[in-house]
Amino acid sequence: MSDDIFIVIATFGVVFVITAAMLQGLIITVDLLRAGFKGRRQSQAMVLLARFVVVPLVIIGLASIVHFGASGYGPQIDMAVCVLVLTAGPPFIPAIAKLAHGDIPYAASSALMLTVLTWILLPFTLPVALNFLGTGASVSSSTVAQPLVAFYVIPLVAGFLIRARYPNIAKDIIPHLKTIAIATLLLSVALYIAVSWSELTSLFLTGVLGFAVAIPLISLFIGFVLSPPLARRTTAETPHRSSKIISIISISLQNIGACLVCAFFVLPSYPLAGVAILIFALGSIFVTVLVMAELGRRHERALAAATPAQTNPAAAGGKSSS
């Protein structure tokens, strides 16, 4: 990949990261955060435990015993695994939550909580994980922290302040920023795939695609087990169903903005790592969206089946007496 093409791809990616972060700040209000956090201390604690401890330990441990093809590929794929499992809090958790009829206020507050903790922890955890897997990448905490602050923290704080001070202006610019964010993300991803096609096809033989599917499935399972009510299925009538759905989504997904920042500014000398990060991130989104869409469809069917009996008990009683 030439330097000029990389600059174009990185520019689109940075614009997406900035607009997505500002959007997250513009959407969040103090009342929304209060509603999301209220009465969910156990759920929040389990999400943090699962997302920042259990998932990284399981996935990085699995990566340490799996060999991804040739020696030139393995270390860079391990870099991508480290980035993926240590970046949490995607801003689109509420959008995916709608598919499964999850708790939207809790989704917004969970996304912000995980994003803030990613800013704090990633500069310290990523160098340790890269060293543990023997990737050969020498990364300092400041190398990770500086682009995160510049392209993610500052825009999000700016968006939050604009929403708090000028709510009408915030509501007016949200649709435009959504368009910009989606367009720049698609352009960045499409160009990245196009110019890295040879690297992408070479990764097919290393088991990366299988691992890209395994990561979200493992994360979804961990989320199901550790989200209250612990290791139990929920039905349409279960009071905590909507909260459990959000916890599972929060545990399974990565912060794609932070992933792009790492690919462009932390690991720019490792092109295969960037391609693998993209494969893993898109795979996690795809699998999680499919699972949540299916859960949402089943929830709608359960509600439709329960509604007639609940809304017309007199008619049901009349039929049974006759």
User: How confident is the model over 76-121, as pLDDT tens digits?
Assistant: 889 999 999 999 988 888 889 999 888 888 888 899 999 999 999 9
| Mean pLDDT (whole number) for 182-198 | 88
Identify the pLDDT of residue 222: 94
pLDDT of residue 311: 52
Select the more confidently predicted residue: 269 or 234.
269
| Residues 41-63, mean pLDDT to the nearest whole number | 92
Other beta carbons within 10 Å of 153: 15
Count Cβ atoms below 10 Å from residue 206 Cβ, excluding itself: 19
pLDDT above 80 for 314: no
Quick count: other Cβ atoms within 10 Å of Cβ 198?
9
Kindly indicate the confidence band of residue 236, based on its pLDDT and cuts at 50, 70 and 90: low
Whether the pLDDT of residue 126 is over 50: the answer is yes
Burial 255-293 (b: 16+ CB within 10 A, else e): bbbbbbbbbbbbbeebbbbbbbbbbbbebbbebbbebbe
Whether residue 215 has pLDDT greater than 70: yes
Question: What average pLDDT does range 119-146 have in this prediction?
Answer: 92
Question: What pLDDT, on the 0 to 100 scale, is given for residue 173?
Answer: 94
**For the residues 272-284, what does the mean pLDDT come to?**
88
Whether residue 322 has pLDDT greater than 50:
no
Q: What is the mean pLDDT of residues 127-146?
A: 91
Q: What pTM value is reported for the model?
A: 0.86
- Across 192-221, average pLDDT: 82
What average pLDDT is seen over the chain? 86
Token digits of residue 105 = 């206020």
Q: How confident is the model at residue 231 (pLDDT cuts 50, 70, 90)?
A: low
Q: What's the pLDDT band for 286 if we cut at 50, 70, 90? A: very high
Specify the pLDDT at position 320: 47
Q: Give the pLDDT band of residue 321 (cuts 50, 70, 90).
A: very low
The pLDDT > 70 percentage for the chain reads: 89
- 3-303 adopts what CATH topology? Na+/H+ antiporter like fold (1.20.1530)
Q: pLDDT value at position 232?
A: 60
Residue type, 144: V
pLDDT at residue 68 is higher than 80: no
**pLDDT computed for residue 291 by the predictor:** 93
| Cβ contacts of 270 within 8 Å, gap of 6 or more | 76, 79, 137
Higher pLDDT, 21 or 315: 21
Of 117 and 198, the one with more pLDDT: 117
Average pLDDT rounded to a whole number, residues 298-303 = 85
> 1 vs 164, which has greater pLDDT?
164
The CA–CA distances, whole Å, from 48 to 44, 108, 210, 243, 296 equal: 6, 15, 26, 14, 24
Side chain identity, residue 84: L
